[in-house]
Amino acid sequence: MASSTGSEALDRIVERLSSTGDPRRRYEYVLWLAKKLDPLPPEQQTEDIKVKGCVSQVFVQPELKDGVMHWRGDSDALITKGLLALLIQGLDGLTPQQVQAIDPCFLEATGLQASLTPSRANGFLNILRMMQSQAQSAEGLGVPTDS
């Protein structure tokens, strides 16, 4: 049984991937997630939301709404877009603090690293780190002060 990530949605994704014994099926699921992710219009794909350290072009756009995080994103590589979609789906609706508390060890529980090249696995971590950094920045915005 996969350990809890702190996100019900992410736990469900991890559970689904970890219960699949076939690496090809896991890979196909990630590609399916990619196809479901709405594209980010090119004019919104700006340098400030570009994930550094990825071989492919990856953009992740944060929004803090009603105290919880929402993201949109895109990538020029289908598998990377699927990994991005997995994170967007898994982290959507969490508070900035919850996003920052996600431990990247959940990747191991998915079994995906067997299907990913080292550069893709590293890119996946870079996407997660970018989203956590964005959540940290968002946390400082619009937080009411006690006065």
* Rounded distance between C-alpha atoms, residue 127 and residue 123, angstroms: 6
* Rounded distance between C-alpha atoms, residue 9 and residue 89, angstroms: 7
- Catalytic positions, written as ranges: 54
- Enclosing H/E stretch for 71: strand 68-75
Task: Tell me which residue of 37, 57, 34, 35 sits closest to 46, measured CA to CA.
Answer: 57
- Enclosing H/E stretch for 138: helix 118-139
